[in-house]
Structure 1
Amino acid sequence: MEARKPIKKKKNQFKYWIGRIHLWLGLISGLFVVFLGITGCILAFEREIEDATQSYRFTETQRKPLLPPTQLKAIADKALPNKKAHSVNYQPGRTAQVVYYHDVPAYYYTVFVDQYSGKVLKVKNMDEDFFRIIIMGHYYLWLPPEIGQPILTTATMMFVFLLISGLILWWPKSKAARKQRFSVKLKSKWRRLNYDLHNVLGFYITFVAIFIGLTGMIMGFQWFSKSVYWVSSGGKSITMFEETYSDTTSIAKLNLNAAAADQLWARFMKEDPKFKGSMDVHIPEDKKGTVEIAKNPDPSTYWKADYRYFDQHTLKEIEVKHIFGKFANTSAADKIIRMNYDIHIGAIAGIPGKILAFIASLIAASLPITGCIIWWGRRNKSKPSH
């Protein structure tokens, strides 16, 4: 019996220190985790809520020719003067969107234009959009990105450790204890109920929440994103996105009959007339810019999009080495980084995945609250009565 005592003591010491770290990290990151969980719930069904409440997003498919991208841009420019268009989006059954996005000066607008008649249905300032405001809070805490993002991503990293340490603390010692750890005793006293809500619900969402946390860290920490790519690629470094440029020496050599963006768009439409996904056409802002065409076969996600780049003066395709190029050329590591956002919001698994992400975010938001109640109750219980 004497030989077993040090082993038992060591095991208790390990759980004791895990518990202390779990407590302090929970107290430090708790408010941020509650905030991220609640805003995550709001954003889980962003697209579905917008589609249900904003009828101008839809235009019935007609047997009429679609207006080309430069014409839609010209119409949108009149509705939104003194701004530079970023892209024109087409999708069957949906209204064409002309997106205006710029860093300095900063602005973000979307002009919804009927792709058949050219009628402007809506000019939307995205900086005043409800979901856009929530996204800015979820990403940056409504602070400058260089300040807000590290704060929230650090809190997310703490939360991932809390999930792992919570699993260690939750792990039952025996079969008898195991039977009691998988269910919430709804008829028990409120302290016991709160304890079960924290431990049992925390266990059930652990693995989903870990994926949500890790994908959030990939978006928030460059070093973590690069590390994930390095591991998943077998030791290769990620090639970051770089702008592509047209050959300005070819301007006088080739006289295009129509705008390069319109010609390339027409070519893509002719190649795949039954395409049901979305197509983004990026019209060059100057003579150096390229025409980018992004075709996404599944608009409910982003990772399968095919990005193509063309010289606006010669229509010659420009090959790129970064991960946002042709989908056929992407490696397994490229796909992991590409699908990161879709995993984060659950869209990778469709509506069931979004429901799962919503439930996990809701429970994650509750864990710091139920955990704080447990800590407060134990703290008061340990105080000597006078």
Structure 2
Amino acid sequence: MGFKKPIKKKNTFKYWIGQLHLWLGLISGLFVLFLGLTGCILAFQREIEDTVQTYRFTETQNKPLLAPTQLKAIADKALPNKHAHSVTYQPGRTTQVVYYDLVADYYYIVFVNQYTGKVLKVKNMADDFFRIIIMGHYYLWLPPEIGQPILTTATMMFVFLLISGLVLWWPKSKAARKQRFTVKLKSKWRRLNYDLHNVLGFYITFIALFIGLSGMVMGFQWFAKSVYWVSSGGRTMNVWEETYSDTTSLAKLSTNAAAADQLWAKFLKEDPTFKGSIDVHIPEDEKGAIEIAKNPDPSTYWKADYRYFDQHTLKEIEVKHLYGKFANTSVADKLIRMNYDIHIGAIAGLPGKIIAFFASLIAASMPITGVLIWVGRKKKKANPTKPLQTTP
């Protein structure tokens, strides 16, 4: 008579976690692969641009800087029929006059020497390599209202895969624990692939969770508001809104341009040794407010101090949203502000970017190694070994 191996009783919880892990992995796999690879490309965007784009730098000189409106006028001639969004100063770097309009759908940067007024580069960001990759990473090169929900949903699935993978990976005993932390490089390819999926997946879990969750904050407003609500102890997040000047004021200055120059000069005088970046937003009409943003650490974004002023009276306008004075921000405000810096690893400087790069690279490999495990198991089921025979 034949002898069959006893059937092991399945752990129902782990079984269903495994099924969800499998099918959500198959559904989101291509998107995770895409996000991981594009994330790797974007990890060192600033460092690569600074290396190959020499026009970004202008040596600091003992000369007076041209005012924002002067640089804007020069840039306007180089790029006519567009509205300047901001003028950015940073010691040692060329001043950037940014032209951006969401409705008209254009984005240009004019690089102007802040001492001589010479135009060094007019850059159409629609043709910029990294900008193209960003549009894919954020929107899959589709309209934002279509592409962003698709990729953010895939990111949400990836977050579940990380958690469920940790549950499936968790060793039952000390003996099993030793095997779960090491990739056996000399083993057969199936075992090697299995280790690459499980062991490397474990090592990146916590870093990848930060990357995935921060991606969800950017992609889903409901998730961003939920994170804010939890981190603030039940407060509602105030959404950013446009700030306006008082057009009914009798005490009006001659032009909004003159007002922007005055405020910029005042900021420079208050802190002449400031080494960070200063953005000056010149309003397009008499309704807009002047925004000046000072960032003490231009390698990140979350510490920027945003100030708003009435262009007619120069009176400061207080705002309720989280993109106001840095000194007034709460813990929850800071958490949302630093979300992008967390996402790309910049929150921890260059080491953080390196970690984010390798975490993204390994995350991109997870769908590939996962599919190979699944295919291997299907083949094994299709060709079962013969049962052991005993003498009757």
**Global fold match (TM > 0.5):** yes
One-letter code aligned to 2:310: D
Query: 5 Å matches for 1:151-300?
Result: 151-250=150-249, 253-255=252-254, 259-300=258-299
> 1:126 is matched with which residue?
125
> 1:332 is matched with which residue?
331
3-state SS in 2 of match to 1:250? coil
> 2:145 is matched with which residue?
146
Query: 5 Å matches for 1:29-44?
Result: 29-44=28-43
Mapped pair 1:76 → 2:80 = no
- The structure-2 alpha-carbon separation of the partners of 1:302 and 1:257, relative to structure 1 and needing over 3 Å to count, comes to closer
3-state SS in 1 of match to 2:11? helix
> 1:91 is matched with which residue?
90
Query: Structure 1: how far apart are the matches of 2:367 and 2:257?
Result: 60
One-letter code aligned to 1:97: Q
3-state SS in 2 of match to 1:111? strand
Query: Structure 1: how far apart are the matches of 2:379 and 2:254?
Result: 82
- The structure-2 alpha-carbon separation of the partners of 1:257 and 1:145, relative to structure 1 and needing over 3 Å to count, comes to closer
Q: Which 4+ runs in 1 deviate beyond 3 A?
A: 251-258
- The structure-2 alpha-carbon separation of the partners of 1:254 and 1:68, relative to structure 1 and needing over 3 Å to count, comes to closer
Question: Is the CA contact (8 Å cut-off) linking 2:21 and 2:161 kept in structure 1?
Answer: yes
Query: Structure 2: how far apart are the matches of 1:162 and 1:31?
Result: 14
3-state SS in 2 of match to 1:97? strand
Query: Structure 1: how far apart are the matches of 2:245 and 2:253?
Result: 13
> 2:380 is matched with which residue?
381
Question: Shift of residue 385 of structure 1?
Answer: 7.1
3-state SS in 1 of match to 2:248? helix
3-state SS in 2 of match to 1:239? coil
- The structure-2 alpha-carbon separation of the partners of 1:317 and 1:164, relative to structure 1 and needing over 3 Å to count, comes to same
> 2:19 is matched with which residue?
20
Mapped pair 1:367 → 2:383 = no
| CA-to-aligned-CA distance 1:318-340 (integer Å, 9 cap, x gap) | 00000000000000000000000
Mapped pair 1:319 → 2:318 = yes
Mapped pair 1:110 → 2:129 = no
One-letter code aligned to 2:12: Q
Question: Shift of residue 225 of structure 1?
Answer: 0.3
| CA-to-aligned-CA distance 1:163-209 (integer Å, 9 cap, x gap) | 00000100111000100110111111111110100000000000000
Query: Structure 2: how far apart are the matches of 1:247 and 1:210?
Result: 45
3-state SS in 1 of match to 2:88? strand
| CA-to-aligned-CA distance 1:307-365 (integer Å, 9 cap, x gap) | 00000010000000000000000000000000000000000000000000000000000
Mapped pair 1:353 → 2:362 = no
Question: Shift of residue 250 of structure 1?
Answer: 2.2
- The structure-2 alpha-carbon separation of the partners of 1:127 and 1:255, relative to structure 1 and needing over 3 Å to count, comes to closer
Superposition TM-score, scaled by structure 1 size: 0.96
Query: Structure 1: how far apart are the matches of 2:252 and 2:363?
Result: 61
Work out the number of aligned pairs and report it.
378
- The structure-2 alpha-carbon separation of the partners of 1:258 and 1:382, relative to structure 1 and needing over 3 Å to count, comes to closer
Query: Structure 2: how far apart are the matches of 1:211 and 1:376?
Result: 30
Query: Structure 1: how far apart are the matches of 2:138 and 2:196?
Result: 28
3-state SS in 1 of match to 2:98? strand
- The structure-2 alpha-carbon separation of the partners of 1:117 and 1:204, relative to structure 1 and needing over 3 Å to count, comes to same
Question: Shift of residue 253 of structure 1?
Answer: 4.6
- The structure-2 alpha-carbon separation of the partners of 1:274 and 1:102, relative to structure 1 and needing over 3 Å to count, comes to same
> 1:5 is matched with which residue?
none
| CA-to-aligned-CA distance 1:110-165 (integer Å, 9 cap, x gap) | 00000000000000000110000000000000000000000000000000000000
- The structure-2 alpha-carbon separation of the partners of 1:258 and 1:184, relative to structure 1 and needing over 3 Å to count, comes to closer
Query: Structure 1: how far apart are the matches of 2:71 and 2:63?
Result: 15
3-state SS in 2 of match to 1:60? coil
3-state SS in 2 of match to 1:301? coil
Aligned-residue identity in percent: 83
Query: Structure 2: how far apart are the matches of 1:151 and 1:257?
Result: 42
3-state SS in 1 of match to 2:72? helix
Question: Is the CA contact (8 Å cut-off) linking 2:253 and 2:311 kept in structure 1?
Answer: no
Question: Shift of residue 252 of structure 1?
Answer: 5.7
Question: Shift of residue 286 of structure 1?
Answer: 0.4
3-state SS in 1 of match to 2:35? helix
Query: Structure 1: how far apart are the matches of 2:66 and 2:179?
Result: 64
Superposition TM-score, scaled by structure 2 size: 0.95
Question: Is the CA contact (8 Å cut-off) linking 2:257 and 2:282 kept in structure 1?
Answer: no
